[in-house]
């Protein structure tokens, strides 16, 4: 191996072509002094097992004993807003990050450089939530001013305003095919809109307190909402029938996400607990306990193996969904972490906090 880390990194993919000696070399690279070499070796071995379906025991054991998340540190930190960052959205292509804030603005950033591309103004009150369409072209925001606004990401121009909520819009989610918008808020009503026309398609009622979070599953056949009443409701589309109600949290539910395989729902709550719910049986399968304060945000890695969570204890925690263990805690924020998003390739995490700071985490 060369003494130069970059050359060692470059040599690893070629080594994977040799089943015995090469793979043994890549396994040894997990102990390399350079973090980038370790990280590259980990990604290659993981791809070998997960995507090439290789049942190689020595690789499986090496991965099981290796914790890649301890390699993560803060790569970049910057003041993004003059008030709390309420939400973050990353475009599916990974190029653009959008932040929403209680300063009534949204900001569009180059996700690689951190350069500000646009400031989106037009909301007359706190902007509480933001999402980006699957085609990477539009950002959609919800606000305390009771409106939903649709923006052109490339130009920063306002395309459409949707009104219909009687109160504060707290959360929104876009269907996987990009045709529908799901919204929830203080009026306790879940609304499903057609994005192209702004037409209201369906409403869902059942919560007795504010809806804090909404989500679609991977194929758009189920939607979920989490509420300040401590419950989670799951509805079937297009029938609109209630599929399940989960009531195991002891405080407000602030985030819900479906796992990629469609088997589970993940929830974060002010009771400091992250719940793992079996969608088929309705059972609470596991509670992830480790945050010292309220859980305010969570997201899942694209491959569905990792949960990232943040909250009042000012940390970002990384959990293994398979082993159900805490893998690492990222520290550095000086106030509550209210928003999280991970890149599709799993190589970066973006976090936003109450003091208007965005941090980008990864391997140096």
- Residues 133-143: pLDDT tens digits? 999 999 999 99
User: CA distances (Å), 148 to each of 102, 109, 130, 144, in order?
Assistant: 15, 21, 10, 10
**Structure confidence at residue 3 (pLDDT):** 55
pLDDT at 2 over 50: no
pLDDT band at 167 (very low <50, low <70, confident <90, very high): confident
pLDDT band at 1 (very low <50, low <70, confident <90, very high): very low
pLDDT band at 205 (very low <50, low <70, confident <90, very high): very high
**Structure confidence at residue 346 (pLDDT):** 85
Q: Which helix (H) or strand (E) holds 149?
A: strand 147-152
**Structure confidence at residue 312 (pLDDT):** 98
Cβ pair 39, 71 in contact under 8 A:
yes
pLDDT at 70 over 80: yes
Helix 5-15 × helix 21-28 angle, to 10°: 140
pLDDT band at 56 (very low <50, low <70, confident <90, very high): confident
Angle at 300 between CA 227 and CA 188, to 5 degrees: 15
Helix, strand and coil in the chain, % to nearest 5: 15, 45, 40
pLDDT tens for residues 84-131?
999 999 999 999 999 999 999 999 999 988 999 999 999 999 999 999
pLDDT at 304 over 90: no
Alpha-carbon span 34 to 31, nearest angstrom: 9
Q: What are phi and psi of 195, to 5 degrees?
A: -65, -40
Considering the domain 73-362 in this protein, what is its CATH number? 2.130.10.10
pLDDT band at 49 (very low <50, low <70, confident <90, very high): confident
Least confident of 51-55, 176-180, 236-240: 51-55
C-beta neighbour count of 120 within 10 angstroms: 23
Q: Report the mean per-residue pLDDT for the chain.
A: 94
Domain coordinates in residue numbering, the chain: 5-66, 73-362
Alpha-carbon span 48 to 59, nearest angstrom: 9
């Amino acid at each position: 191996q060369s003494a130069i880390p970059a050359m060692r990194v470059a040599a690893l993919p070629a080594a994977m072509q040799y089943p015995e000696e090469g793979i043994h070399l890549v396994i040894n690279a997990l102990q390399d002094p350079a973090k980038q070499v370790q990280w590259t070796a980990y990604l290659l071995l993981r791809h070998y097992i997960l995507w090439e379906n290789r049942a190689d025991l020595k690789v499986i054991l090496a991965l099981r004993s290796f914790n890649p998340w301890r390699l993560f540190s803060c790569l970049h930190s910057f003041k993004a807003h003059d008030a709390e960052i309420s939400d973050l959205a990353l475009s599916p292509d990974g190029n653009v990050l959008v932040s929403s804030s209680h300063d009534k603005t949204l900001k569009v950033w180059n996700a690689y450089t951190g350069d500000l591309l646009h400031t989106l103004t037009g909301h007359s009150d706190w902007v509480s939530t933001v999402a980006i369409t699957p085609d990477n072209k539009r950002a959609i925001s919800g606000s305390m001013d009771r409106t939903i606004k649709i923006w052109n990401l490339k130009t920063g121009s306002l395309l459409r305003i949707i009104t219909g909520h009687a109160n504060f819009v707290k959360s929104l989610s876009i269907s996987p095919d990009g045709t529908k918008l799901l919204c929830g808020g203080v009026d306790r009503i879940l609304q499903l809109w057609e994005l192209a026309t702004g037409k209201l398609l369906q409403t869902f009622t059942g919560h007795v307190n504010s809806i804090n979070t909404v989500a679609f599953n991977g194929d758009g056949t189920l939607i979920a909402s989490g509420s300040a009443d401590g419950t989670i409701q799951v509805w079937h589309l297009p029938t609109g029938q209630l599929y399940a109600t989960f009531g195991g949290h002891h405080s407000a539910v602030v985030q819900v996400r479906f796992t990629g395989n469609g088997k589970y729902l993940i929830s974060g709550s002010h009771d400091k607990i992250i719940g793992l719910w079996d969608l088929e049986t309705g059972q609470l399968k596991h509670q992830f306990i480790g945050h010292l304060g309220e859980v305010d945000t969570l997201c899942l890695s694209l491959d569905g193996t990792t949960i990232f969570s943040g909250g009042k204890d000012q940390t970002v925690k990384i959990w293994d969904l398979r082993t159900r263990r805490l893998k690492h805690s990222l520290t550095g924020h000086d106030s509550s972490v209210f928003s999280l998003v991970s890149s599709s390739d799993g190589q970066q995490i973006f976090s936003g906090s109450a003091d208007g700071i965005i941090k980008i985490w990864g391997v140096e």
